[in-house]
Structure 1
Amino acid sequence: MTTTTAPSGAAPARSSSSARVATAATVGTALESYDFYTYSYFAAFFAGPFFFSALGDAGALAASFATIGIAFVVRPLGAILFGHLGDRIGRRSTLLITIALMGVATGLVGLLPTGEGWALFGAIALVVLRIAQGLSLGGEWGGAVLLATEHADARRRPFFASLPQLGSPIGSVAAGGLMLVMFFGLGPEAMAAWGWRVPFLIAIPLIAVSLYLRWSIDETPVFKELAAKGQRERNPVWAAIRTQPGAFGVAILVALLGIGSYSLMNTYTMGYGVTALGFDEMQLLAAATIGGLLQFVTVPAFGWLATRIGSARVVALGAAGTLLIAFPIYWLLGSATFAVLVALMIVGGILPTASWAALGGTMQELFRGRHAYSALSVAYALAAVLSGFIPYLTTELGVLTGGAWWHPGVVLAALSALTLVGAIMAGRMRRLGDEDADAAQAAVPEEAPAPV
């Protein structure tokens, strides 16, 4: 795609550079991940005492964790709402709304009043803000993937589809690293008094950066072509379900390992490692952070591999590899030293990361452009909701098996097998998304720079 130069006196042309577009897409998913992990730490340490103390210690902790779940519950509603907007008013315009909603809601959490007199107001406001964040989450990922891929040429599309996936490690490392630095630098008392607000308030300048990046880019060729030809769906969510029901099921299967392994490894295994295996919390957090840092290399590497062998094959490769190590990794974990723990977190992270990195490219290929925003958003949101129950289901399986070492391996193996089946089926389907993107780019004439 070429970038046009505006004539003197006209508004400056927005950029269609694939790199700039991918950056704009990735920033949003990074902010999404940053919010998730920042709020998870807040819920674990502060939300209960600040807003739910009237429920008692156990009730306050349960209520604070329930506010995490609220965002997952409303996520499909956000996917339907913003998916509809993304297929009706455009990818870029909708992503400006989602990032603004996310950033404002996150920043306002840091401004909530605390104290006994404000407990009820704070609790209600916190729930409302979490609902707003959950709605935004539902519309962010699908649009980010389309923004990155519908601007890219066919050869590089799988690589650019992997870049929004970098948002997860960027957000998790930023949130975890900031929390560690602040806890060590300020101490528990200062953190409880005012320090907890800082990670939320940082979201406000991040909004400005994200909005600028997304405002400065152009709408995607696919949507512009659909709008020009009057081919936008009146009800894109229903159209996607009605015309491509099989693709919906395949997309959910493809997404399960990439999303679910994160819930299993970074949520359940953390608690399991402390309570059942005797690891120190800081050891597990350090190992997870190292694994997150490694994704800065592995995600684009697997994205590059997808340009060579195809996105669906990379997803299948990650799923098959994870299936092979699912039981050995938990068998070794029971007697691991810290060095072995780090090694296991790295190995256990690399293979699911292959499925995660190629997830966007695989799902984008499945759906027609006219309802792609809705289809990607809803399928991803449903997979995320299912994955949100993985820590609970794994805990129950542990109870049923008497805490057998292999019970988390069963869950990881099941996720891997389902995603492997989905990837094989996806690889055999027509690449409808690519066909629409190729046609839209071919219809855009080359534009010469305007004379100065």
Structure 2
Amino acid sequence: MTSIPAGSPATTTQARSSSRRVAAAATVGTALESYDFYVYSYFAAFFAAPFFFDALGETGGLLAAFATIGIAFVVRPIGAIVFGHLGDRIGRRRTLLITIALMGVATGLVGLLPTGEGWAAFGAVALVVLRIAQGLSLGGEWGGAVLLATEHADARRRPFFASLPQLGSPIGSVAAGGLMLLMFFGLGPEAMVAWGWRVPFLLAIPLIAVSLYLRWSIDETPVFKELAAKGERSRMPVVEAVRSQPAAFGVAILVALLGIGSYSLMNTYTMGYGVTRLGYDEMQLLAAATIGGLLQFITVPAFGWLATRIGSARVVAIGAVGTLLIAFPIYWLLGSATFAVLVALMVVGGILPTASWAALGGTMQELFRGRHAYSALSLAYAIAAVVSGFIPTLTEALGSATGGAWWHPGIVLALLSALTLVGAIAAGRMRRLGDQDADAAQAAEPERIPEPA
């Protein structure tokens, strides 16, 4: 049997093909997780209250339905601890198979819940349990997906591959929103109430099967294989991450705030603020936000490519500075904008934070050693997500305190930008520990690759 030298064109092509397959497995998984999460958000807004919380009255039922969305955010750090520990102990690939299976099963079971007067109490309890399962899964998905993509890639392309899992959010959002719109218009309200609402949940089962296949077909990352071979896996990775790298942990949370928090502010609070206080039509705001979301399919990989040229931390900083500069003008113009200007504002207001979002994974991955990277990434991201989940509420409180002044959302966006800018500057000055471990593992791969028989 002959062999191929490690630096030959065939070897390079083989490595690139493997990296692309791994990146696809990571991206598809986060997209499907995002799809499941957004589908439930739409379900909570339209169906959960009358189906399961009708006894609480109209207002109480709606509050209970929205609370089930918040439950998933609250338990997300627990999922980060549990699956972060597994990811650093049994491997990235195995853990991601568990998280995607858990999300798929929980989502599919929501579509099978019984409705009706006799089933309301059972359905409400079961719904809460399934939401907890979804939140736990989300807590362990993102950090593992970033490591799966980056720990297979060479140093030069690592920032780009770290940006690809970030495509999961816009893909899942557009897919869930588009499907719900098509079903509402195609089936009509009566059919949607009778049985149509179940379809998006049940579709998660075959979609998750595709993601499981993709993740099953790839190898464990070189970093984890190297750690396992040398017996260097951490016994308590979460504790070790916080104890040995407290500064990096805090910096990672700051780096993540704008990318996650700007979505909560722009796509949640600003939607309601635009309708209730500025008088915009809901469909206008949804159309503008959808256009901005579609642009992320281009801007996320573009900023990921830029990170390979100037570094991930610098791209995060560019996004933070740009967002800081437009934080107040964008809300000043929003008060009297035409639809065309509205679209332009949503696009600009989406592109600049997207720079920080796209380079988030690459920046955070560089901060932590491989032996506890899964735990550190997952928990730091989950904490930032929990904080961001309260941004709409805090912004509303600020609006009430200022009498609805046009600049109150700008304060929140500017604060998020400033905190992330501080984090990006600090991250750029820290040693790239994650890169060092990944580079060492790549170098430890066999020098010669056997040619297929």
TM-score in terms of structure 2 length: 0.96
Instruction: State the shift of 1:50 in Å.
Output: 0.5
Deviations for 1:7-41, whole angstroms, at most 9, x for unmatched residues? xxxxxx99970000000001111112112211111
Alignment correspondent of 1:109: 110
Instruction: State the shift of 1:285 in Å.
Output: 1.2
1:208 aligns with 2:223: no
Sequence identity percentage: 88
Separation in 1, partners of 2:332, 2:277? 13
Alignment correspondent of 2:122: 121
Alignment correspondent of 2:273: 272
Q: Which amino acid is the alignment partner of residue 275 of structure 2? A: V
SS of structure 2 residue aligned to 1:448: strand
Kindly indicate whether the alpha-carbon contact (under 8 Å) linking 1:104 and 1:204 is maintained by their aligned counterparts in 2: yes
Separation in 1, partners of 2:95, 2:448? 26
Structure 1 unaligned spans of 5+? 5-12
**Bigger shift: residues 35-44 or 226-235:** 35-44
Kindly indicate whether the alpha-carbon contact (under 8 Å) linking 1:318 and 1:353 is maintained by their aligned counterparts in 2: yes
Separation in 1, partners of 2:188, 2:450? 57
Kindly indicate whether the alpha-carbon contact (under 8 Å) linking 1:254 and 1:359 is maintained by their aligned counterparts in 2: yes
1:99 aligns with 2:100: yes
Kindly indicate whether the alpha-carbon contact (under 8 Å) linking 2:4 and 2:451 is maintained by their aligned counterparts in 1: no
Separation in 2, partners of 1:14, 1:137? 29
**Bigger shift: residues 199-208 or 93-102:** 199-208
1:175 aligns with 2:176: yes
Q: Which amino acid is the alignment partner of residue 355 of structure 2? A: A
Kindly indicate whether the alpha-carbon contact (under 8 Å) linking 1:16 and 1:151 is maintained by their aligned counterparts in 2: no
TM-score in terms of structure 1 length: 0.96
Q: Which amino acid is the alignment partner of residue 316 of structure 1? A: A
Alignment correspondent of 2:153: 152
Instruction: State the shift of 1:194 in Å.
Output: 1.1
In structure 2, the CA distance between the partners of 1:125 and 1:14, relative to structure 1 (3 Å rule), is: farther
Alignment correspondent of 2:189: 188
Q: Which amino acid is the alignment partner of residue 411 of structure 1? A: V
Deviations for 1:414-448, whole angstroms, at most 9, x for unmatched residues? 00000000000000000000000000100111343
Deviations for 1:88-134, whole angstroms, at most 9, x for unmatched residues? 00000000000000011011111111111110000000000000000
Q: Which amino acid is the alignment partner of residue 85 of structure 1? A: L
Kindly indicate whether the alpha-carbon contact (under 8 Å) linking 1:365 and 1:434 is maintained by their aligned counterparts in 2: yes
1:410 aligns with 2:411: yes
Alignment correspondent of 1:305: 306
In structure 2, the CA distance between the partners of 1:434 and 1:451, relative to structure 1 (3 Å rule), is: closer
In structure 2, the CA distance between the partners of 1:356 and 1:3, relative to structure 1 (3 Å rule), is: farther
Q: Structure 1 runs of 4+ off > 2 angstroms? A: 13-16, 446-452
In structure 2, the CA distance between the partners of 1:134 and 1:14, relative to structure 1 (3 Å rule), is: farther
Alignment correspondent of 1:166: 167
Alignment correspondent of 2:337: 336
Structure 2 unaligned spans of 5+? 6-13
Alignment correspondent of 1:130: 131
Instruction: State the shift of 1:3 in Å.
Output: 11
Alignment correspondent of 2:8: none
Q: Which amino acid is the alignment partner of residue 301 of structure 1? A: A
Separation in 2, partners of 1:340, 1:144? 37
Alignment correspondent of 2:144: 143
Q: Which amino acid is the alignment partner of residue 397 of structure 1? A: L
Alignment correspondent of 1:87: 88
Instruction: State the shift of 1:45 in Å.
Output: 0.7
Q: Which amino acid is the alignment partner of residue 398 of structure 1? A: G
Deviations for 1:306-332, whole angstroms, at most 9, x for unmatched residues? 000000000000000000000000111
| 1:394-405 equivalences in 2 (<5 Å) | 394-405=395-406
In structure 2, the CA distance between the partners of 1:138 and 1:451, relative to structure 1 (3 Å rule), is: closer
Separation in 1, partners of 2:15, 2:103? 24
Alignment correspondent of 1:346: 347
Kindly indicate whether the alpha-carbon contact (under 8 Å) linking 1:176 and 1:289 is maintained by their aligned counterparts in 2: no
1:56 aligns with 2:65: no
Kindly indicate whether the alpha-carbon contact (under 8 Å) linking 1:3 and 1:16 is maintained by their aligned counterparts in 2: no
Q: Which amino acid is the alignment partner of residue 117 of structure 1? A: G
Q: Which amino acid is the alignment partner of residue 196 of structure 1? A: W
Alignment correspondent of 1:384: 385
How many residue pairs get aligned? The number is 443
Kindly indicate whether the alpha-carbon contact (under 8 Å) linking 1:83 and 1:237 is maintained by their aligned counterparts in 2: yes
Separation in 1, partners of 2:82, 2:411? 35
Alignment correspondent of 1:324: 325
Deviations for 1:124-159, whole angstroms, at most 9, x for unmatched residues? 000000000000000000000000000000000000
Instruction: State the shift of 1:413 in Å.
Output: 0.4
Instruction: State the shift of 1:195 in Å.
Output: 1.1
In structure 2, the CA distance between the partners of 1:3 and 1:42, relative to structure 1 (3 Å rule), is: farther
Kindly indicate whether the alpha-carbon contact (under 8 Å) linking 1:51 and 1:123 is maintained by their aligned counterparts in 2: yes
Separation in 1, partners of 2:266, 2:36? 19
